[in-house]
Structure 1
Amino acid sequence: MTDEGKGLTLLVVEDNDFQRAVAVKVLEDLGCDHVLSAADGDAALREIVAHPGKVHIILSDLDMPGMDGVEFLRHIAERELAGSVVIASALDSALIHTVEDMAQEHGLQVLSNVEKPVTRKKMRNVIDQYRREERVRNPEKWAGSFSKEDILEGLNNNEFTVWYQPKVRMSDGAWVSTEALARWQHPEHGIVMPARFVPVMEKADIIDQLTWKQVHGIVEDLCGWQREGRDVSVAVNLSPTLLVDMDMPQKLEEVMAHYGVSPCRMILELTESALMRDMARSLETLARLRIKGFALSIDDFGTGFSNFQQLNRIPFSELKIDQSFVRGLGVKNTSRTIVLSNIELASRLGLRTVAEGVETPESWHELKAMGCDYAQGYLIARPMPYAELGEWEKDWLKRYPKLV
């Protein structure tokens, strides 16, 4: 017996007695604190309700008598009985992915599905994934929230910094661009991610204070790269509030001119939701930015409902392929079709393409074969402070030849 499952309670929902017994034994051997089991959805619901503690992971079949796995997943989501689920089924993979998408839409955390039979290696990977995602969701193990006053104090103390995630050209691996990402170096809670403070700042109407502070730092870094002779651009995420600021294009141009950096070195990334706040003002702002030489990138392409209309209206220069499609390349035929269609569409429109969330060599090779221009993701680099980019580039230049 090992202790990989220590502290966890898992529930196995499987109508086949032998397969259910095997899965239970595997989880017990991995050291799980509690392993519950049930033969169908109805029995599983009763098990969860009767158990005094939290059920961390549910391993469920789909095709079962009585309440099947699809209905069961809906019930646990609606009643908030568990947060993480794993589908273990011999059904068609396309059907399994449809059910996984349904579960995610219901708010459940869906871990990698498991092909039968259940083995120790497969469940060890599931538990590892659960713990990794728990660390991402709760990096500081702190349940509080930040107020407007907390954030303003952090701004006044210059605690907010810029981290960079490099993008590389797929044809030769060259570092050509980098996305600027906000980080809060909190004196008590360490590195705080944007999801913890950006919504508060937008609601309190102080996001512009952070944006302009960061813009000055970013352009100063661009100036440094320019002095080194590096042909590197920086992508900056635009807040919806900036899109309706009629003075923003002129102010941004003045900042670039102050540091002697051409506007073509800055890529402004925006999502469809940002555009929808005030379309008329947004279109004016974006037109003026393009006139001044800034590049525009549409982010999260394919995840909204009217992206094609935005492509027709706005002079974009870049299309970012959402990481949800990139990560699905190896497991979903639909993801592959969507990614390939987006790359072909961008090519016909004269736009360069950037694939987000590139995490495996397999994804890299498939995207390159499709004709994608640039890649960004953990395979290449995680976000990092400016000072670490030099060492990263040395390491990347050693890794790239092995990758290709």
Structure 2
Amino acid sequence: MTNEGEGLTIMVVEDNDFQRAVAAKVLEDIGCEHVMAARNGQDALEQIVAHPDRIHIVVSDLDMPEMDGVELLRHLAERKLADAMVVASALDAALIHTVEDMAEEHGLQVLTNVKKPVTREKIRGVIEQYRKEHRARNPDAYSGVFTAEDIQEGLDAGQFQVWYQPKVSLSDGSWLASEALARWDHPEQGVVMPGRFVPIMEKSSLIDQLTWKQVHAIVEDLRNWQLQGRDLTVAVNLSPLLLEDVSMPQKLEEILAHHGVSTCRMTLEITENVVMKNLARSLETLARLRMKGFNLSIDDFGTGFSNFQQLNRIPFTELKIDRSFVSDITHKTTNRIIVESNIDMAKRLRLSTVAEGIETEEEWNKLKELGCDYAQGFLVARAMPYSQMPEWEKNWKEQFKSQLSD
């Protein structure tokens, strides 16, 4: 017996007796601590309420008598009775996607849906995703909580580093750009991800210190690449607080000029939420950045309600297609249509396009077919320090030649 499910309580909700029994057996075989089974939503709800411990994952069909899966998921979310849910259904993919969106809006963690029949491999994937996302959502449960004083000490000690995630051309695989990402090399906890320190920095006004330290390091790396004859650009994520500083573009331009690096070598990535913090000052800052030759990228495109308004008011040069649309682009018709429409619109607006979160060859090939310009994601590379990039590039060229080139 394997133990992937160690410590987990999982409930299966399925009105078909045979399929319910099979799913429960699969969960038991992979070592789940508690396996619960219900024949419909009402049965599941009664069992969950009576159960003394937390339900980690509910795997539920949708079309069931008495109480269907849609109503069950609403109760789970509103009453906070489970950590996460998985839709296991043979219904239309568009309908399943709508239900998943509903659950997420209610605050329930949604894991990859599972097509019937339920198998060990499918459940293993669900559990792996649950553990990964639970750790990301609840970092304090896995390690100590940082204070602003802890972070200040790390800044003073030079513990914060710049890592890069490459972006490559979908047409020929060439490495043309990278996104700069902050990492904290903590002496006790190892590499700490931004989600654990950036929110604290923004609340305590430490984000300015981090950004300018990162900018100086990035520009030095750009200068080194330039001396090597490399025609590379780097994308930098901007904090809302920095966009409110109308003097920031001038300061940024002076730093690049001091190192002999053109402003066109830097792309500033903006999300909708960032711009909306203080619209008037943000627009002034963005206008100055573009006037000075910096590239502007709209990040996470399609995930907000006013992206089109932002496209209309800000002189962007690049559009980044969010990973939520890239994922399953080869299986979900809706995702493919959305991505195809965004790429077509970007071309009409003379914007380059970057697809985020590419993880499979199938996604690469489909995005290339649709005319997307650049790829970013685990298929290409995870983020890494500057020193590791030459070795990555060598390996990437071999990977592209053997797997992705026509």
- TM-score, with normalisation over the residues of structure 2? 0.96
Give 1:155's aligned residue: 155
1:192-211 matches, within 5 Å, as: 192-211=192-211
C-alpha distance in structure 2 between counterparts of 1:326 and 1:314, whole Å = 24
Match of 1:358 in 2: 358
Match of 1:274 in 2: 274
Deviations 1:82-135 (A, max 9, x none): 112111112112111111111122222222222222223322332233334345
Name the SS for the 1:125 alignment partner. Answer: helix
Q: In the aligned structure 1, how far is the partner of 2:6 from the partner of 2:224?
A: 49
Deviates more, 1:123-132 or 1:360-369: 123-132
Structure 1 pair 71/355, CA: closer, same or farther in 2 (3 Å)?
A: same
In structure 2, what is the Cα distance between the partners aligned to 1:305 and 1:32? 40
Instruction: State yes or no: 1:299 paired with 2:299.
Output: yes
Q: What does the per-residue CA deviation read over 1:205-250, in whole Å, with 9 as the maximum and x for residues that have no partner?
A: 2211110010000000001101111111000011111112121111
**Aligned partner letter, 2:219:** V
Kindly tell me: are residues 400 and 140 of structure 1, through their superposed partners in 2, closer, same or farther at Cα, counting changes over 3 Å? farther
* Cross-structure match for 1:121: 121
Matched residue of 1:171: which SS?
A: coil
Aligned to 1:41: 41
**Residues 14 and 20 in structure 2, CA contact (< 8 A), matched pair in contact too:** yes
Amino acid of the structure 2 residue aligned with 1:100: E
Contact 2:270 2:299 in 1 (8 A): yes
How far does residue 331 in structure 1 lie from its aligned partner after superposition? Answer: 3.2
Q: Which moved more, 1:52-61 or 1:208-217?
A: 52-61
Q: Are 2:11 and 2:36, in contact at CA under 8 Å, matched by a contact in 1?
A: yes
Write the deviation string for residues 26-62 of structure 1: whole angstroms up to 9, x where unpaired. Answer: 2222222211111111221222222222222211111
- Measured in 2, the distance between the counterparts of 1:356 and 1:350 equals 19
| Separation in 2, partners of 1:344, 1:258 | 39
Partner of residue 403, structure 1: 404
Q: Which blocks of at least 5 consecutive residues in structure 2 are unaligned?
A: none
CA contact (8 A) 1:140 1:189 kept: no
CA, structure 1 residues 182+83, in 2 after alignment: closer, same or farther (shift >3 Å)? same
- For the residue of structure 1 that corresponds to 2:6, the secondary structure is coil
Partner of 2:237: 237
Q: What are the Cα deviations for residues 249-288 of structure 1, in whole angstroms up to 9, with x where unaligned?
A: 1111110011111111000111111111222222221121
Identity percentage of aligned residues = 68
Match of 1:29 in 2: 29
Aligned equivalent of 2:286: 286
Give, in whole Å, the separation in 1 of the partners of 2:24 and 2:306.
Answer: 47
1-structure distance, mates of 2:389, 2:140: 25
Q: What do the CA deviations read for 1:351-393 (whole angstroms, capped 9, x no partner)?
A: 1001111111111111111110001000000011111111110
Q: Which residue of 1 aligns with 2:367?
A: 367
Tell me if 1:380 matches 2:380.
yes
Structure 1 residues 244 and 130, CA gap change in structure 2 (3 angstroms): closer
| Distance in 1 of aligned mates of 2:383 and 2:144 | 25
Q: Structure 1 residues 76 and 151 mapped into 2: Cα distance closer, same or farther (>3 Å)?
A: same
Give the aligned partner of residue 130 of structure 1.
130
Partner deviation per Cα, 1:166-220 (whole Å, 9 max, x = no partner) = 0001111000000000111112222111111111111112211110010000000
Tell me, what secondary structure is at the counterpart of 1:63?
Answer: coil
| 8 Å CA contact 1:171, 1:373 repeated in 2 | yes
Which residue number corresponds to residue 308 of structure 2?
308
What CA distance in whole angstroms lies between the structure 2 residues aligned with 1:163 and 1:353? 22
Matches of 1:132 and 1:306 in 2, distance apart? 30
Unaligned runs of 5+ in 1: none
Structure 1, residues 126-169: CA drift from partner, whole Å, max 9, x if none? Answer: 22333343454456853542222111111111111111000001
SS of 2:197's equivalent in the other structure is helix
Residue of structure 2 equivalent to 1:224? 224
Preserved contact between residue 267 and residue 295 of structure 1 (Cα < 8 Å): yes
Match runs of 1:162-181 below 5 Å: 162-181=162-181
Secondary structure of the residue that 1:24 maps to in structure 2? helix
d(CA) in 1 for partners of 2:120 and 2:288? 58
TM-score using structure 1 length: 0.96
Q: Which moved more, 1:204-213 or 1:1-10?
A: 1-10
Task: Give the letter aligned to residue 391 of structure 2.
Answer: E
In structure 1, C-alpha distance between the alignment counterparts of 2:124 and 2:277, rounded to whole Å = 45
Q: Distance in 1 between matches of 2:245 and 2:358?
A: 34
Supply the distance in 2 between the matched residues of 1:391 and 1:140 (Cα, whole angstroms).
34
Q: For the residues of structure 1 that align with 2:332 and 2:196, how far apart are their CA atoms?
A: 32
Deviates more, 1:121-130 or 1:39-48: 121-130
Q: 1:86 to 1:178 in 2, by over 3 A?
A: same
Which amino acid letter does the alignment assign opposite residue 41 of structure 1? G
Shift of 1:64: 1.0
Secondary structure (helix, strand or coil) at the match of 1:130 reads helix
Q: SS of the counterpart of 1:297?
A: strand
Q: Give the residue type in structure 2 aligned to 1:403.
A: L
Aligned pairs for 1:313-332 (under 5 A) are 313-332=313-332
What does residue 258 of structure 2 align with? Answer: 258
State the AA in 2 paired with 1:150.
Answer: D
Q: 2:164, 2:123 → 1: CA distance? A: 35
Separation in 2 of the partners of 1:240 and 1:129? 30
CA drift of 1:297 comes to 0.7
**CA 1:310–1:134: 2 relative to 1, 3 Å:** closer
Q: Secondary structure at the match of 1:35?
A: strand
Give the drift of 1:319.
0.8
Contact kept? 1:97, 1:332, Cα under 8 Å: no
